[in-house]
Structure 1
Amino acid sequence: MSTTSPAQEIWDLLRDVIRVQRENAEQFQETDRKFQDTDRKIQETNRQLKELGQQIGGLGEKFGSFTEGLALPSMERLLRERFGMEVVSPSVRVTKGGRHLEIDTLAYANGEINAAYLVEVKSHLREEAIDQLSTLLEQFRAFFPEHRDKRLYGILAAVDASPALRERALRKGFYVARIHDAVFELDVPEGFQPRVF
Protein backbone atom coordinates (compact mmCIF):
# COMPACT_ATOMS: atom_id res chain seq x y z
CA MET A 1 0.00 0.00 0.00
CA SER A 2 1.25 3.43 -0.93
CA THR A 3 2.10 5.78 1.89
CA THR A 4 2.41 8.83 -0.38
CA SER A 5 -0.35 11.36 -0.02
CA PRO A 6 -2.13 12.78 -3.09
CA ALA A 7 -0.58 16.17 -2.40
CA GLN A 8 2.88 14.60 -2.32
CA GLU A 9 2.20 12.84 -5.63
CA ILE A 10 1.23 16.17 -7.20
CA TRP A 11 4.42 17.80 -5.88
CA ASP A 12 6.53 14.90 -7.19
CA LEU A 13 4.79 15.11 -10.54
CA LEU A 14 5.31 18.90 -10.64
CA ARG A 15 9.03 18.44 -9.83
CA ASP A 16 9.32 15.92 -12.69
CA VAL A 17 7.60 18.33 -15.10
CA ILE A 18 9.95 21.16 -14.03
CA ARG A 19 12.99 18.86 -14.43
CA VAL A 20 11.87 17.77 -17.92
CA GLN A 21 11.21 21.40 -18.90
CA ARG A 22 14.73 22.38 -17.76
CA GLU A 23 16.24 19.49 -19.72
CA ASN A 24 14.22 20.51 -22.78
CA ALA A 25 15.29 24.14 -22.38
CA GLU A 26 18.96 23.05 -22.17
CA GLN A 27 18.53 20.85 -25.26
CA PHE A 28 16.86 23.74 -27.11
CA GLN A 29 19.74 26.04 -26.14
CA GLU A 30 22.28 23.45 -27.32
CA THR A 31 20.36 23.00 -30.59
CA ASP A 32 20.22 26.79 -31.02
CA ARG A 33 24.00 27.01 -30.48
CA LYS A 34 24.50 24.29 -33.11
CA PHE A 35 22.24 26.15 -35.56
CA GLN A 36 24.15 29.38 -34.94
CA ASP A 37 27.44 27.56 -35.46
CA THR A 38 26.12 25.99 -38.68
CA ASP A 39 24.86 29.38 -39.82
CA ARG A 40 28.31 30.90 -39.22
CA LYS A 41 29.92 28.07 -41.20
CA ILE A 42 27.44 28.58 -44.06
CA GLN A 43 28.13 32.32 -44.09
CA GLU A 44 31.89 31.65 -44.13
CA THR A 45 31.50 29.11 -46.93
CA ASN A 46 29.38 31.59 -48.94
CA ARG A 47 32.02 34.29 -48.42
CA GLN A 48 34.76 31.91 -49.60
CA LEU A 49 32.70 30.87 -52.64
CA LYS A 50 32.07 34.51 -53.55
CA GLU A 51 35.78 35.27 -53.22
CA LEU A 52 36.65 32.23 -55.35
CA GLY A 53 34.11 33.33 -57.97
CA GLN A 54 35.74 36.76 -58.12
CA GLN A 55 39.17 35.18 -58.48
CA ILE A 56 37.95 32.90 -61.26
CA GLY A 57 36.24 35.84 -62.97
CA GLY A 58 39.46 37.83 -62.74
CA LEU A 59 41.40 34.91 -64.15
CA GLY A 60 38.90 34.64 -67.03
CA GLU A 61 39.30 38.36 -67.75
CA LYS A 62 43.08 38.01 -67.72
CA PHE A 63 42.90 35.02 -70.06
CA GLY A 64 40.54 36.96 -72.35
CA SER A 65 42.93 39.93 -72.33
CA PHE A 66 45.83 37.55 -73.02
CA THR A 67 43.94 36.06 -75.99
CA GLU A 68 43.09 39.53 -77.33
CA GLY A 69 46.73 40.56 -76.94
CA LEU A 70 47.84 37.41 -78.73
CA ALA A 71 45.40 38.06 -81.58
CA LEU A 72 46.10 41.76 -82.10
CA PRO A 73 49.42 41.67 -84.04
CA SER A 74 48.27 39.03 -86.52
CA MET A 75 44.75 40.49 -86.80
CA GLU A 76 46.23 43.94 -87.43
CA ARG A 77 48.45 42.53 -90.18
CA LEU A 78 45.50 40.64 -91.68
CA LEU A 79 43.19 43.68 -91.56
CA ARG A 80 45.78 45.95 -93.19
CA GLU A 81 47.15 43.54 -95.81
CA ARG A 82 44.03 41.55 -96.77
CA PHE A 83 41.34 44.22 -96.36
CA GLY A 84 43.29 47.48 -96.74
CA MET A 85 42.28 48.92 -93.38
CA GLU A 86 43.92 52.24 -92.51
CA VAL A 87 42.94 52.40 -88.81
CA VAL A 88 43.11 49.42 -86.44
CA SER A 89 42.03 50.13 -82.86
CA PRO A 90 42.08 47.49 -80.14
CA SER A 91 39.65 47.52 -77.21
CA VAL A 92 37.22 50.21 -78.31
CA ARG A 93 34.70 51.29 -75.68
CA VAL A 94 31.98 53.86 -76.29
CA THR A 95 29.10 55.20 -74.19
CA LYS A 96 26.17 57.14 -75.62
CA GLY A 97 22.93 57.96 -73.87
CA GLY A 98 23.73 55.68 -70.96
CA ARG A 99 24.31 52.69 -73.28
CA HIS A 100 27.69 50.99 -73.66
CA LEU A 101 29.37 49.17 -76.50
CA GLU A 102 32.69 47.35 -76.36
CA ILE A 103 34.53 46.04 -79.42
CA ASP A 104 37.69 43.93 -79.15
CA THR A 105 39.12 45.43 -82.37
CA LEU A 106 37.65 48.04 -84.71
CA ALA A 107 39.27 48.61 -88.10
CA TYR A 108 38.19 50.91 -90.88
CA ALA A 109 39.27 52.61 -94.06
CA ASN A 110 37.83 55.62 -95.86
CA GLY A 111 38.11 56.50 -99.53
CA GLU A 112 37.57 53.83 -102.15
CA ILE A 113 37.53 50.99 -99.62
CA ASN A 114 35.01 52.70 -97.30
CA ALA A 115 34.54 49.69 -94.98
CA ALA A 116 34.72 48.81 -91.29
CA TYR A 117 35.46 45.50 -89.58
CA LEU A 118 34.43 44.52 -86.06
CA VAL A 119 36.57 41.77 -84.58
CA GLU A 120 35.50 39.74 -81.56
CA VAL A 121 38.29 37.64 -80.04
CA LYS A 122 37.48 34.52 -78.02
CA SER A 123 39.63 31.82 -76.49
CA HIS A 124 36.78 29.32 -77.09
CA LEU A 125 34.10 30.10 -79.63
CA ARG A 126 30.66 29.68 -78.08
CA GLU A 127 27.12 30.25 -79.31
CA GLU A 128 26.89 33.48 -77.28
CA ALA A 129 29.89 34.97 -79.13
CA ILE A 130 28.07 34.64 -82.47
CA ASP A 131 25.02 36.36 -81.01
CA GLN A 132 27.23 38.98 -79.37
CA LEU A 133 28.89 39.88 -82.69
CA SER A 134 25.46 40.08 -84.37
CA THR A 135 24.31 42.52 -81.69
CA LEU A 136 27.48 44.62 -82.02
CA LEU A 137 27.01 44.87 -85.77
CA GLU A 138 23.34 45.85 -85.38
CA GLN A 139 24.18 48.58 -82.84
CA PHE A 140 27.38 49.85 -84.46
CA ARG A 141 25.95 52.69 -86.56
CA ALA A 142 23.97 54.09 -83.61
CA PHE A 143 27.22 54.41 -81.67
CA PHE A 144 29.38 55.43 -84.65
CA PRO A 145 27.24 57.59 -86.96
CA GLU A 146 30.43 58.85 -88.60
CA HIS A 147 30.77 55.36 -90.16
CA ARG A 148 27.10 54.97 -91.21
CA ASP A 149 27.94 54.93 -94.94
CA LYS A 150 30.64 52.24 -94.65
CA ARG A 151 30.20 48.59 -95.54
CA LEU A 152 30.37 46.71 -92.25
CA TYR A 153 31.80 43.21 -91.71
CA GLY A 154 32.22 40.92 -88.72
CA ILE A 155 35.17 38.69 -87.84
CA LEU A 156 35.19 36.05 -85.08
CA ALA A 157 38.76 35.23 -84.07
CA ALA A 158 38.96 32.15 -81.84
CA VAL A 159 41.77 30.03 -80.49
CA ASP A 160 39.40 27.05 -80.39
CA ALA A 161 36.18 26.59 -82.40
CA SER A 162 34.12 23.48 -82.99
CA PRO A 163 33.32 22.70 -86.63
CA ALA A 164 29.58 23.21 -85.93
CA LEU A 165 30.07 26.70 -84.46
CA ARG A 166 32.50 27.64 -87.23
CA GLU A 167 29.84 26.66 -89.78
CA ARG A 168 27.16 28.63 -87.94
CA ALA A 169 29.37 31.73 -87.89
CA LEU A 170 30.08 31.35 -91.62
CA ARG A 171 26.34 30.95 -92.37
CA LYS A 172 25.74 34.21 -90.50
CA GLY A 173 28.17 35.82 -92.93
CA PHE A 174 31.03 36.32 -90.47
CA TYR A 175 34.64 35.76 -91.29
CA VAL A 176 36.23 33.22 -88.96
CA ALA A 177 39.88 33.50 -87.96
CA ARG A 178 41.70 30.76 -86.09
CA ILE A 179 45.15 30.53 -84.62
CA HIS A 180 47.78 28.55 -86.51
CA ASP A 181 51.46 28.54 -85.46
CA ALA A 182 50.74 31.39 -82.97
CA VAL A 183 49.25 33.54 -85.77
CA PHE A 184 45.57 34.20 -86.47
CA GLU A 185 44.60 33.41 -90.06
CA LEU A 186 41.26 33.45 -91.85
CA ASP A 187 39.53 30.08 -91.83
CA VAL A 188 36.90 30.47 -94.55
CA PRO A 189 36.04 28.19 -97.47
CA GLU A 190 37.02 28.98 -101.05
CA GLY A 191 34.62 31.51 -102.54
CA PHE A 192 33.22 32.59 -99.15
CA GLN A 193 31.00 35.66 -99.48
CA PRO A 194 30.78 37.64 -96.23
CA ARG A 195 27.60 39.39 -95.26
CA VAL A 196 27.67 43.16 -95.51
CA PHE A 197 25.89 44.72 -92.54
Structure 2
Amino acid sequence: MSTNAAEMSWDDIKALFLETDRKFQETERMIKELGRQIGGLGDKFGYFAEGMALPSMERLLQKRFHMTNVSARHRVRLGSREQEYDVLAWANGKVNQAVVVEFKSRVKREAIAQLIEQVQRLPELVLVLSGKTRIGILAGIDWDAGVMEEAQAAGLYTATIHDDLFELTTPKGFEPQRWQ
Protein backbone atom coordinates (compact mmCIF):
# COMPACT_ATOMS: atom_id res chain seq x y z
CA MET A 1 0.00 0.00 0.00
CA SER A 2 1.36 3.39 -0.99
CA THR A 3 1.77 6.07 1.68
CA ASN A 4 1.00 8.92 -0.72
CA ALA A 5 -2.77 9.57 -0.46
CA ALA A 6 -3.00 10.65 -4.08
CA GLU A 7 -1.59 7.30 -5.22
CA MET A 8 -3.84 5.15 -2.98
CA SER A 9 -6.59 3.06 -4.52
CA TRP A 10 -10.09 2.85 -3.05
CA ASP A 11 -9.26 -0.66 -1.88
CA ASP A 12 -6.17 0.68 -0.07
CA ILE A 13 -8.23 3.46 1.59
CA LYS A 14 -10.97 0.99 2.55
CA ALA A 15 -8.37 -1.39 4.07
CA LEU A 16 -6.83 1.51 6.01
CA PHE A 17 -10.24 2.55 7.39
CA LEU A 18 -11.06 -1.05 8.37
CA GLU A 19 -7.71 -1.42 10.18
CA THR A 20 -8.25 1.90 11.97
CA ASP A 21 -11.75 0.83 12.98
CA ARG A 22 -10.44 -2.52 14.30
CA LYS A 23 -7.78 -0.74 16.39
CA PHE A 24 -10.37 1.73 17.71
CA GLN A 25 -12.69 -1.12 18.78
CA GLU A 26 -9.81 -2.93 20.49
CA THR A 27 -8.83 0.28 22.33
CA GLU A 28 -12.45 0.79 23.39
CA ARG A 29 -12.60 -2.81 24.73
CA MET A 30 -9.37 -2.26 26.68
CA ILE A 31 -10.69 0.99 28.21
CA LYS A 32 -13.91 -0.74 29.33
CA GLU A 33 -11.91 -3.57 30.91
CA LEU A 34 -9.63 -1.08 32.67
CA GLY A 35 -12.70 0.74 34.00
CA ARG A 36 -14.09 -2.54 35.33
CA GLN A 37 -10.80 -3.32 37.06
CA ILE A 38 -10.55 0.16 38.60
CA GLY A 39 -14.13 -0.19 39.87
CA GLY A 40 -13.18 -3.48 41.47
CA LEU A 41 -10.24 -1.83 43.22
CA GLY A 42 -12.58 0.86 44.54
CA ASP A 43 -14.88 -1.81 45.95
CA LYS A 44 -11.94 -3.57 47.58
CA PHE A 45 -10.74 -0.30 49.14
CA GLY A 46 -14.26 0.32 50.47
CA TYR A 47 -14.40 -3.17 52.01
CA PHE A 48 -10.92 -2.61 53.48
CA ALA A 49 -12.05 0.68 55.05
CA GLU A 50 -15.19 -1.01 56.43
CA GLY A 51 -13.10 -3.84 57.87
CA MET A 52 -10.73 -1.40 59.52
CA ALA A 53 -13.56 0.61 61.00
CA LEU A 54 -15.87 -2.19 62.08
CA PRO A 55 -14.36 -2.92 65.54
CA SER A 56 -14.53 0.73 66.61
CA MET A 57 -18.01 1.18 65.10
CA GLU A 58 -19.19 -1.94 66.91
CA ARG A 59 -17.92 -0.53 70.23
CA LEU A 60 -19.60 2.80 69.48
CA LEU A 61 -22.91 1.11 68.68
CA GLN A 62 -22.79 -0.96 71.86
CA LYS A 63 -21.68 1.80 74.26
CA ARG A 64 -23.37 4.90 72.86
CA PHE A 65 -26.53 3.37 71.35
CA HIS A 66 -26.83 0.23 73.56
CA MET A 67 -27.12 -2.10 70.57
CA THR A 68 -27.02 -5.78 71.46
CA ASN A 69 -26.88 -7.14 67.89
CA VAL A 70 -24.37 -5.87 65.33
CA SER A 71 -24.25 -7.40 61.87
CA ALA A 72 -21.63 -6.32 59.31
CA ARG A 73 -22.39 -6.54 55.59
CA HIS A 74 -25.90 -7.70 56.40
CA ARG A 75 -27.61 -8.96 53.22
CA VAL A 76 -31.35 -9.24 52.85
CA ARG A 77 -33.34 -10.78 50.00
CA LEU A 78 -37.11 -10.54 50.04
CA GLY A 79 -38.73 -11.59 46.79
CA SER A 80 -37.06 -9.66 43.99
CA ARG A 81 -35.77 -6.97 46.36
CA GLU A 82 -32.27 -7.10 47.74
CA GLN A 83 -30.29 -4.84 50.05
CA GLU A 84 -26.88 -4.96 51.68
CA TYR A 85 -26.33 -2.90 54.82
CA ASP A 86 -22.73 -2.05 55.70
CA VAL A 87 -23.71 -2.41 59.36
CA LEU A 88 -27.12 -3.17 60.76
CA ALA A 89 -27.52 -3.04 64.54
CA TRP A 90 -30.53 -3.41 66.80
CA ALA A 91 -31.61 -3.87 70.38
CA ASN A 92 -34.79 -5.23 71.87
CA GLY A 93 -36.63 -4.35 75.04
CA LYS A 94 -36.18 -0.92 76.59
CA VAL A 95 -34.03 0.47 73.74
CA ASN A 96 -36.10 -1.08 70.90
CA GLN A 97 -34.12 0.65 68.17
CA ALA A 98 -32.33 -0.22 64.93
CA VAL A 99 -29.32 1.60 63.52
CA VAL A 100 -28.24 1.52 59.89
CA VAL A 101 -24.61 2.50 59.27
CA GLU A 102 -23.33 3.36 55.80
CA PHE A 103 -19.54 3.48 55.37
CA LYS A 104 -17.90 5.48 52.62
CA SER A 105 -14.20 5.93 52.02
CA ARG A 106 -15.15 9.17 50.22
CA VAL A 107 -18.46 10.63 51.35
CA LYS A 108 -20.35 12.41 48.58
CA ARG A 109 -23.74 14.13 48.69
CA GLU A 110 -25.53 11.10 47.14
CA ALA A 111 -24.69 9.04 50.23
CA ILE A 112 -27.23 11.03 52.27
CA ALA A 113 -30.21 10.00 50.11
CA GLN A 114 -28.85 6.44 49.87
CA LEU A 115 -28.73 6.06 53.66
CA ILE A 116 -32.13 7.69 54.22
CA GLU A 117 -33.67 5.27 51.73
CA GLN A 118 -32.04 2.32 53.50
CA VAL A 119 -33.38 3.48 56.88
CA GLN A 120 -36.87 4.09 55.47
CA ARG A 121 -37.07 0.72 53.68
CA LEU A 122 -35.62 -1.32 56.56
CA PRO A 123 -38.99 -2.51 57.96
CA GLU A 124 -40.10 -3.62 54.49
CA LEU A 125 -37.03 -5.81 54.07
CA VAL A 126 -36.24 -6.91 57.62
CA LEU A 127 -39.69 -7.63 58.97
CA VAL A 128 -38.53 -8.49 62.50
CA LEU A 129 -37.26 -4.90 62.89
CA SER A 130 -40.49 -3.26 61.72
CA GLY A 131 -41.62 -2.18 65.21
CA LYS A 132 -38.37 -0.44 66.04
CA THR A 133 -37.42 3.23 65.90
CA ARG A 134 -34.71 3.62 63.27
CA ILE A 135 -31.76 6.01 62.95
CA GLY A 136 -28.88 6.31 60.49
CA ILE A 137 -25.17 6.93 60.82
CA LEU A 138 -23.16 8.08 57.82
CA ALA A 139 -19.52 7.18 58.46
CA GLY A 140 -16.62 8.17 56.27
CA ILE A 141 -12.94 8.80 55.95
CA ASP A 142 -12.83 11.68 53.46
CA TRP A 143 -15.86 14.00 53.22
CA ASP A 144 -16.74 16.29 50.32
CA ALA A 145 -17.17 19.89 51.45
CA GLY A 146 -20.46 20.55 53.20
CA VAL A 147 -21.69 16.94 53.08
CA MET A 148 -21.25 16.29 56.79
CA GLU A 149 -23.34 19.34 57.65
CA GLU A 150 -26.02 18.36 55.10
CA ALA A 151 -26.20 14.85 56.55
CA GLN A 152 -26.66 16.25 60.05
CA ALA A 153 -29.33 18.69 58.79
CA ALA A 154 -31.14 15.65 57.32
CA GLY A 155 -31.13 14.09 60.81
CA LEU A 156 -28.31 11.59 60.31
CA TYR A 157 -25.51 11.00 62.76
CA THR A 158 -22.10 11.42 61.19
CA ALA A 159 -18.86 9.71 62.12
CA THR A 160 -15.31 9.92 60.91
CA ILE A 161 -12.14 8.06 61.75
CA HIS A 162 -9.42 9.46 64.04
CA ASP A 163 -6.44 7.38 65.15
CA ASP A 164 -8.03 4.18 63.78
CA LEU A 165 -11.24 4.80 65.75
CA PHE A 166 -14.59 6.01 64.47
CA GLU A 167 -16.01 8.89 66.47
CA LEU A 168 -19.33 10.66 66.12
CA THR A 169 -18.93 14.13 64.66
CA THR A 170 -22.44 15.37 65.33
CA PRO A 171 -22.58 18.42 67.60
CA LYS A 172 -23.48 18.20 71.27
CA GLY A 173 -27.24 18.16 71.73
CA PHE A 174 -27.84 16.78 68.22
CA GLU A 175 -31.28 15.25 67.79
CA PRO A 176 -31.39 12.66 65.01
CA GLN A 177 -34.29 11.98 62.69
CA ARG A 178 -36.11 8.96 64.09
CA TRP A 179 -38.07 6.89 61.63
CA GLN A 180 -40.98 4.92 63.07
Work out whether the TM-score is over 0.5: yes
The letter of the residue matching 1:153 is: I
Whether 1:56 and 2:38 are equivalent positions in the alignment is: yes
Offset, 1:163: 4.8
CA contact (8 A) 2:87 2:102 kept: yes
Offset, 1:44: 0.9
Could you give the per-residue CA deviations for residues 15-57 of structure 1, whole angstroms, max 9, x where no partner exists? xxxxxxxxx9x61101110011101101110111011011101
SS across alignment from 2:139 = strand
Offset, 1:101: 1.0
Match of 2:149 in 1: 167
Whether 1:141 and 2:141 are equivalent positions in the alignment is: no
Whether 1:92 and 2:77 are equivalent positions in the alignment is: no
Mean CA deviation greater in 171-180 or 92-101: 92-101
SS across alignment from 1:176 = strand
Offset, 1:89: 0.3
TM-score by length of 1: 0.85
Report the number of matched residues: 174
Offset, 1:99: 1.0
Structure ID, larger Rg? 1
The letter of the residue matching 1:116 is: A
Whether 1:38 and 2:55 are equivalent positions in the alignment is: no
Whether 1:115 and 2:97 are equivalent positions in the alignment is: yes
The structure with higher relative contact order (CA 8 Å, sep 6+) is 2
Match of 2:62 in 1: 80
Match of 2:3 in 1: none
Select the structure that is richer in helix: 1
Across the aligned residues of Structure 1 and Structure 2, the Cα RMSD in angstroms comes to 1.4
SS across alignment from 1:113 = coil
Match of 1:154 in 2: 136
> CA separation in 2, counterparts of 1:47 and 1:147?
45
Match of 1:15 in 2: none
TM-score by length of 2: 0.93
> CA separation in 1, counterparts of 2:26 and 2:129?
52
Q: How does 1:7-18 map to 2 (within 5 A)?
A: none
CA contact (8 A) 2:68 2:89 kept: yes
